[in-house]
Amino acid sequence: MREVDLDRPLTKRKWPPKQIGYVSVAGLFAVIVLYNVLYRDHSSRLNVQAERLTISTVERDEFQEFIPATGSVIPIKTHYLDAVEGGRVDTVYLEAGSIVNRGDRILKLANTNLLLDIMYREAELFQQSNNLRNTRLAMARDRLITRGQLLDLGNRVAKQRRLFKLNAQLAEKNHISNDKFEESRDEYEYLVAKHELTLQTREQDSIYRETQIRQLESSVQRIEANLEVVRQNLENLVVKAPVSGHLTSLNADVGESKMLGERLGQVDILNGFKVRMAVDEHYITRLNIGQLGECTYDDTPYRLNISKIYPEVINGRFEVDMEFMGAGPEGIRRGQTLRIRLELGDLSEAVLLASGGFYQKTGGRWVFVVDASGELARKRNIQLGRQNPQRYEVLGGLEPGERVITSSYDNFGDVDQLVLNR
């Protein structure tokens, strides 16, 4: 049996190299894990091809808010041809597209009922004129008769007056009977009263006849005025050019019936044109008379201003008329289409970002901003203000010189960073 020396000092045991290696690796792994947990960027990433993206630089420049609109060229003034009186189209003198002068005959309508109405009113006028003439003749005849009666009564009154005075003198001397005196007196008083009554009758008949004549004269004048209106309607059956210009349209064929007030065509005055365009109802409170716009025709810019706003909204749009400031484009024709830049505000300096497909995804609330290396784009919240079809006004979140991905974000999902692969 081996003896153990209890007084010998014990030596410390060392780890073998292999064990030390295992422990070191485990510690390094723990440190790496702890670092990733505490300090590593955990945002999601997506690798994209840089050449498929549109990258725009934020810049400070002059900005003007405007909306694009499409307008149609129309004459600055148009006169419409309406049927003042209905009828059947009898003759067409001119065709649509003709140049007309004021007063030129364009077409003629036929209306039998109107002709019969004129004949009836003419007969009525003739009858009333005869009544007026007969009344005047009767009045003149009655005056002559009454005058003769007054002359006869005046003569009889004068004779009876002399007889009455003579009998009065004889009665005082008792040369005639009292009955005979009273008889002469009664006859005298009767003739005086009859003479007075005849004068009153003549006066009343004169007033009645004059009133009757005034009524007949008024009736004749009224019939003549009505007849003049009907005759004017008869003349209106011949439709004439109200102004000199271009007969743009004519909706009338021989034999066709036209109703009262029906549109027959129109004449355009060729001394100027305006542009009528439809604008989204969203802008109805932002447009005013005199507001400016611009269009290009044959590579030449032309300025326009709003001359009229039609407030009625149809299918989400309302109409606006714009007139050229100064001379309009030469050779322009009715019905041509022009693209208008309708200005909504004054020119001002602002931080600007180019428009693009990103807005449909983000609504202008955030964008991907490319870092200085050009290899990574990070998501950033921003604030946009006014806009036009080319650029947005940046109110916050971006600085001039920064680069932003402005193409569509539809394929990026909800990632926070984009790795730009070259």
List, run by run, the mean pLDDT of 10-residue segments along the chain (422 residues): 51 59 67 56 77 91 86 88 87 88 90 81 81 80 82 86 85 82 86 87 82 82 80 82 88 87 87 89 88 89 92 92 87 87 83 91 92 90 88 91 92 88 82
Could you tell me if 258 and 276 lie in one domain?
Answer: no
| Residue 164 sits in the same domain as residue 227 | yes
Q: Are residues 71 and 162 in the same domain?
A: no
Give the count of beta carbons closer than 10 Å to the beta carbon of residue 308: 12
Query: Residue 277: inside a domain, yes or no?
Result: yes
List b or e across 43-63, with b for residues whose CB sees 16 or more CB atoms inside 10 angstroms.
Answer: eeeeebebeebebbebeeeeb
- Does any domain span residue 20? no
Residues 146 and 191 in one domain: yes
Same domain, 125 and 219: yes
In a domain, 38, yes or no: no
Report H helices in 318-383: 358-362
Same domain assignment for residues 101 and 203: no
Query: Could you give the CA distance from residue 368 to residue 409 in angstroms, rounded to a whole number?
Result: 9
What's the length of the chain?
Answer: 422
Burial class (CB in 10 A: 0-12, 13-18, 19+), 332: middle
Beta-ladder partners of 338: 71
CA distance 186 to 168: 12
Q: Are 155 and 202 in the same domain?
A: yes
Q: Which of 358, 275, 359 is nearest to 319 (CA)?
A: 275
Position 322 scores a pLDDT of 92
The predicted structure's pLDDT at residue 382: 92
Last-in-domain residue among 216, 235, 254: 235
Whether 220 and 246 map to the same domain: the answer is no
The pLDDT of residue 11: 52
Residue 10, in any domain of the structure: no
pLDDT at 1: 44
pLDDT, residue 330, reads 84
- By residue range, what is the domain housing residue 365? 45-63+349-421
For residues 228 and 140, state if they share a domain: yes
Total number of domains in the chain: 4
324: helix, coil or strand?
strand
Q: Global pTM?
A: 0.53
Distant-in-sequence contacts of 94-99, Cβ < 8 A, 24+ apart: 94/247, 94/250, 95/247, 95/250, 96/247, 96/248, 96/249, 96/250, 96/265, 97/246, 97/247, 97/248, 98/246, 98/247, 99/245, 99/246, 99/247
**Structure-derived torsion over alpha carbons of residues 60, 64, 66, 68, reported in degrees to the nearest 10:** -60
Q: Looking at the domain assignment, is residue 321 inside a domain?
A: yes
Q: Are residues 50 and 157 in the same domain?
A: no
Residue 8 lies in a domain: no
Asked whether residue 139 falls in the same domain as residue 206, the answer is yes
Do 261 and 278 lie in a common domain?
A: no
Q: Which residues contact 404 (CB under 8 A, 6 or more apart)?
A: 55, 56, 57, 58, 353, 367, 368, 369, 370, 398
33 within a domain of the structure (yes/no): no
| Alpha helix ranges (H) inside 173-263 | 178-236
Question: Which residue type sits at 58?
Answer: V
Question: Do residues 255 and 121 touch, judged by C-beta distance below 8 A?
Answer: no
